[in-house]
Amino acid sequence: MSSEERLVGVIVLGHEEPDAFTSARVPLLALMATQASLAVRNARAYLYSEELAIGEERNRIAREIHDGVAQSLAFCALKLDVAERQITRDPGKAAAEVATARTILREQIREVRRSIFALRPIDLERFGLLETVRRYVLDFGEQNGLRTTLNVDGEVTLSPGDEATVFRILQESLNNVAKHARAHEVHVCLHGAERVTLEVRDDGQGFDPDLVSGRVSSAGGLGLAQMRERVESLGGRYEVLSRPGEGTVVRAEFAQS
């Protein structure tokens, strides 16, 4: 077996009868060897892409820990050092520093929990898109103390790759709600017609999309621009509608498979 003029393996065929492999069968055997070579090459390419994805994910998580949690904890430690020095000279100031450190620690505990929730593995293949979305929306509300509702209507038929992208957009959008929106309620709608539409609507503080479109979210890793690129690369459409004080709507549309 060869691929791009390289030997990738050897197929050894045997038969109990002499002269079983006649010259007429050689083209078929050669075709089988070629197909096996392609399978080997594709398998190696898949493993290599998986290794790259794992490496990128590890680097991303390391950056998040360094830039987020680690720096906040270091700042918290400085506050406690100041409190220790002030505890006898200025008890009031020491108590204020301890209170600030306590607030930082509680926020970082919430951040770590959000990150763990966002990074946990999701078995789309086992449960299917609709059941996975239902479970995730319910768990998200419970984890973050938010009222969540889910509405699914129409027939949703997508390829496995598109299903994964739909769920990833949902995951990122909800993560952004938990981190930035200060919302009380989130409504998720998944509508199937000629196109599949995912909509995530919150009643939070809103923002100006033009000011934050290039940023990368912490736990999920995709900013608004990256989510738009991912959806549009599949022939879909992605938009964010928001204004300060008016909540946010994230909408993504995909073609039915």
- 123-255 sits in which CATH class? alpha beta
Residuewise pLDDT in 10s, the chain (257 residues): 666 667 777 777 777 888 777 777 778 877 887 788 778 777 777 677 667 766 766 776 677 677 778 888 888 999 999 999 999 999 999 999 999 999 999 888 877 877 776 666 667 878 899 999 999 999 999 888 899 999 999 998 888 888 888 998 998 899 889 888 999 999 999 999 889 999 999 999 998 887 775 554 433 345 677 788 888 888 899 999 999 999 999 999 998 87
Its pTM stands at 0.62
The encoded tokens of residue 201 equal: 């609507």
- Six token digits for residue 143: 């984890």
**Best CA proximity match to 151, nearest among 163, 169, 137, 165:** 137
What are the sequence ranges of the domains in the chain? 2-54, 62-116, 123-255
Rounded to 5°, angle at Cα 119 from 207 and 228 = 45
CA–CA separation, 190 vs 194, rounded Å? 13
